[in-house]
């Protein structure tokens, strides 16, 4: 199976599709998750990151690139990049890293969703520290017991940046930054646009087909 770069607005279902690919042996590399791990340590970097992320702003390229560089240099399984690159500059940095590591077998999947649907999904999203993700506005993604993880029984939490103000900022940042990234990957013949309004199973089947 080929490696995959997901590009998607917040709440387009990257997390759900990544879990599906993980069950097929993929390693999920999410810059958002790695940054949230750093915040949990309550280090001074973590406190700085929390402030930036709660405002819906982007963390500096150097910080996220270091995370990606360390991770990609040390794995030997197919991987999912989730949340990186988020700017054209990051796409160039990644291309240089791929060249250095001889990585060419990858595809870029763009999950396409309009803002209204994405906002509703973000406001209903609940996550668990075990990595599972739910949505109270989607019958297929609701937890069986309100607020409790089906997989491990822990209490579910809402991400602190899944509020309307932060969401609008993140969505706008995404729109502003994405067009050149899409154009770049299109010029490399790597871009696949998938309609993220479809049912998540249907989206999974499309993605698996692309990565064969
Ligand atoms: P995510 O979980 O992918 O929605 O990311 C949550 C937040 O982490 C974003 O709103 C940014 O503040 C930060 N972040 C994640 N990935 C990146 C990246 N590639 N570049 C800059 N900031 C990022």
Name the residues annotated as catalytic.
Answer: 14, 86, 125, 159, 170
Ligand 1 nearest atom to the CA of residue 68, by list position: 19
The closest alpha carbon to 5, from 212, 211, 165, belongs to: 211
Neighbours of 160 (CB within 10 A): 12
| Rounded distance between C-alpha atoms, residue 2 and residue 112, angstroms | 21
Question: What are the φ/ψ torsions at residue 141 (nearest 5 degrees)?
Answer: -110, 5
| Rounded distance between C-alpha atoms, residue 138 and residue 122, angstroms | 11
Calculate the average pLDDT of the chain. Answer: 92
Cα 87 to Cα 11, 101, 104, 135, 201: the distances in Å are 18, 21, 20, 28, 29
Distance of CA 55 to the CA centre of its chain: 18
| Rounded distance between C-alpha atoms, residue 70 and residue 47, angstroms | 22
| Rounded distance between C-alpha atoms, residue 89 and residue 181, angstroms | 9
Q: What is the pLDDT of residue 4?
A: 97
Is the CB–ligand 1 distance for residue 94 below 6 Å? no
Distance of CA 96 to the CA centre of its chain: 21
Please say if the pLDDT value at position 131 is more than 90.
Answer: no
Cβ atoms of residues 181 and 92 within 8 Å: no
- List the residue whose alpha carbon is closest to atom 15 of ligand 1: 32
Q: For residue range 37-89, what is the model confidence (pLDDT) as tens digits?
A: 999 999 999 999 999 999 888 899 999 999 999 999 999 899 999 989 988 99
The most confident of 152-166, 170-184, 185-199, by mean pLDDT: 185-199
| Rounded distance between C-alpha atoms, residue 25 and residue 92, angstroms | 27
Beta strands 79-82; 3-7: pairing state = parallel
Which pTM value belongs to this model? 0.81
Q: For residue range 175-187, what is the model confidence (pLDDT) as tens digits?
A: 888 889 999 999 9
Ligand 1 nearest atom to the CA of residue 170, by list position: 10
State which of 45, 52, 83 you would mutate to test the pocket of ligand 1, scoring each by most atoms of that ligand within 8 A of its C-beta. Answer: 83
């Amino acid at each position: 199976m080929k490696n995959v770069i997901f590009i998607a607005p917040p709440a387009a279902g990257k997390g759900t599709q990544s879990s599906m690919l993980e069950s097929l042996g993929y390693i999920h590399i999410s810059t958002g998750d790695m940054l949230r791990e750093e915040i949990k340590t309550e280090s001074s970097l973590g406190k700085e990151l929390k402030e930036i992320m709660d405002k819906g702003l982007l963390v500096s390229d150097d910080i996220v690139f270091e995370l990606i560089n360390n991770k990609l240099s040390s794995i030997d399984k197919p991987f999912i990049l989730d949340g990186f690159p988020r700017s054209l500059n990051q796409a160039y940095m990644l291309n240089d890293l791929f060249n250095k590591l001889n990585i060419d077998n990858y595809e870029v999947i763009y999950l396409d969703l309009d803002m209204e649907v994405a906002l509703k999904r973000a406001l209903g999203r609940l996550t668990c520290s075990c990595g599972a993700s739910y949505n109270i506005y989607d019958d297929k993604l609701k937890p069986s017991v309100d607020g409790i993880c089906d997989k491990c029984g822990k209490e579910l939490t809402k991400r602190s940046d899944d509020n309307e103000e932060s969401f609008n900022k993140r969505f706008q940042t995404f729109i502003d930054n994405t067009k050149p990234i899409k154009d770049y990957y299109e010029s490399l013949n790597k871009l696949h646009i998938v309609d993220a309004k479809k049912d998540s199973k249907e989206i999974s089947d499309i993605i698996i087909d692309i990565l064969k």
